Amino acid sequence: MKSRFYSPVANRLETGVEPEVKVEIKPDIDPILMDWVRLHAYQLRHENKGIERHTQELKALGQSAERLHELEDWRHSHLFTRQERAALALCEALVSHPGDNLARGLLQRARRYFSNSQLISITMTVMTIINWNHLAASHLLVTDHATSRMVLHRIE
């Protein structure tokens, strides 16, 4: 018997959605900033494939090797703007403590630089990375070698 999924996300996964993390981003948020958030989330999770992919994307977009090198220690680098720092701090809080309430001060700082829709975009991007990888780690996701896409493992 084949398994049945009633979740829209599971149905999309079952049909072979790409494992690439994409969240609809409002035009008022910088897509390069979102690439920095994605890269940092993958760094924090020590996931080499995501690190390699987003490093290459940022290089292709003209981001400097120096900034890429300093991302892991962004708090001590002068190369990141206040807005970027707010996004990276939010990313770290979500990755490091996904079940905890975010510190009030962290959200207040982030709200100085981002609208609610932008905060939702950042949060959903990070949470998608975390949850996608939980599915993969549970062996529910497998690679369909014919298409090189990740699909839900079918229970027969």
Q: Is domain 8-152 in CATH 2.60.120.10, yes or no?
A: no
- pLDDT grade, residue 53 (50/70/90)? very high
Q: Is the pLDDT of residue 26 over 60?
A: no
Share of the chain above pLDDT 90, in %: 44
- For residue range 54-102, list pLDDT tens digits in order: 999 999 999 999 999 999 999 999 999 999 999 999 999 998 875 566 7
Q: What is the pTM of this model?
A: 0.72
Domain boundaries of the chain, sorted by first residue:
8-152
Q: Is the pLDDT of residue 121 over 80?
A: yes
**Amino acid at residue number 132:** W
Q: Find all residues with CB under 8 Å of 136, minimum gap 6, and list them.
A: 19, 150
Residue 106, pLDDT score: 86
Query: Average pLDDT in the 110-125 region?
Result: 91
The one-character DSSP state at 74 is: G
The residue written with tokens 């994409």 in the block is 22
Share of the chain above pLDDT 70, in %: 65
Q: Rounded to whole angstroms, what are the CA distances from 124 to 20, 25, 65, 107, 119?
A: 14, 10, 27, 15, 8
